[in-house]
Amino acid sequence: MQTSTKMLLELLVLALMAISCHAQGEAPIGAIELTLVHDAGTKGAVCLDGSLPGYHLDLGSGAGSNSWIVHLEGGAWCSDATSCAFRAGTHLGSSRFMNATVFQGILSSSPRINPYFYNWNRVKVRYCDGGSFSGDAEFPMLGRSPITKEFQILYFRGQRIWEAVMEDLLARGMSDASRALLSGESAGGLASLIHCDSFRELFFEDVEVKCLSDGGIFLDIADINGYLFAQSYFRKVVNLQNIGKNLPRECTVERDNGQCFLAQYFLEGIYTPVFILQSTYDTYQIQNFLVPSSEDPLRKWIPCKNNPRLCSVSELKVLQEFHFGMLHALHPIESFTTWGAYLVSCFCHTQSQENFQWDGTSRIAGMSVVDAIGQWAYRGVGTKYVDCPYPCNPTCRSRS
């Protein structure tokens, strides 16, 4: 597929993500202000455009005062200088475009919406490196924005951002935590798995530390025409941002770096307890990797991609194969007694960051995602909830 087409696809994804973000201006009621990591620049820990990284912190209270949840924001990736230059002019590549944010879902301060974590110290780490907080290229690169036509110096320093933010949070009281949970959604969910064990190592041995990945399992699959689009795409991300040196060595000695960026190939090496929250019909992967627009020039898949009830028999067969492929990739964790999972057959991408998905309506065998994660976090219950194939679950919700 042509590079220009790939770039346009990435720009489209970024544009769609930007729709849900607040416009610059007055912060909404209850919004948490952005905290910049002021000494990060001296360590080279900067966003794509060279601006300082940041996070939002809402302090805990009462019984949750010594418990911390650190959530890594998601937002796809960039795989070449042009798409990264475009990204550098958005909140996904520069703190200059980041606003105060209202915490929802697993970060909400409402005991009704978020009964298990509402009074914890809740942190949202902003995503501005385009490489799942994992890149570490020594030298910057020059890229030209396809929108402004201006040249932009680009920095790929996600690993340093991770380290600088963690150091700052430890100094702000996280070092005294009795319980800590690293979570993330989408690209941040992948990052929560990549950094899970290093997060564990930040704390004393008696601190209860766990990790949660929401929509962070990206499959190494062929698209509808047999092209390994996902593998090729992630290989470019890894090579561009010098991520390879931060990937698990036990994986990279056997596989391509692009594959080792995908959690299905390094999950078994994580020793910290993990909860996998994942749709087995992940809409992001279906739309961008399984059926990318470049492989559907006649747009025959558009109705099915937008609404599974409009899928033909042959199209639904492809989606069911994706579902079972996800279950196969996660099969090894079945025997992990301290791990939990909630693998739902609803068509969605992430489920923990918005109230409408986190409110307990969608269920697997009567269990809500809120209670499944909460019971695992507090009681160490390593239960795996696995949904039956679409369309068996009547509790699924969507914006439509």
The pLDDT of residue 9 is above 60: no
- The DSSP H or E segment spanning 151 is strand 151-154
Residue that wins the pLDDT comparison between 3 and 311? 311
Per-residue pLDDT reduced to its tens digit, 114-160 = 999 999 999 999 999 999 999 999 999 999 999 889 999 999 999 99
396 in a structural domain: no
On average, the pLDDT of the chain sits at 93
399 in a structural domain: no
Report, as residue numbers or ranges, the catalytic residues.
Answer: 186, 282, 349
393 in a structural domain: no
Q: What pLDDT is recorded for position 340?
A: 98
Instruction: Give me the mean pLDDT over the 296-323 stretch.
Output: 97
400 in a structural domain: no
Per-residue pLDDT reduced to its tens digit, 153-187 = 999 999 999 999 999 999 999 999 999 999 999 99
377 in a structural domain: yes
DSSP-assigned states of every residue in 64-113: GTTEEEEEE-------SHHHHHHHTTSTTT-GGG---B---GGG---TTT
Instruction: Give me the mean pLDDT over the 239-262 stretch.
Output: 94
Per-residue pLDDT reduced to its tens digit, 318-354 = 999 999 999 999 999 999 999 999 999 999 999 999 9
Overall number of domains in the chain: 1
What is the C-alpha to C-alpha distance for residues 94 and 194, in angstroms, rounded to an integer?
22
Q: What is the pTM assigned to this prediction?
A: 0.93
The pLDDT of residue 16 is above 50: no
Taken in order 225, 348, 383, 197, the sign of the CA dihedral is positive
The pLDDT of residue 191 is above 70: yes
162 in a structural domain: yes
- The DSSP H or E segment spanning 162 is helix 158-171
Residue pair 128/95 in contact by the 8 Å Cβ criterion: yes
Q: What pLDDT is recorded for position 399?
A: 42
248 in a structural domain: yes
Phi/psi of residue 355, nearest 5 degrees: -55, -35
Lookup result for tokens 């994706």: 322
Here the tokens at position 166 are: 């963690």
CATH code: domain of residue 146: 3.40.50
| Chain centroid, CA 150 distance in Å | 29
The pLDDT of residue 24 is above 60: no
Range of the domain at 90: 3-386
Instruction: Give me the mean pLDDT over the 245-264 stretch.
Output: 94
115 in a structural domain: yes
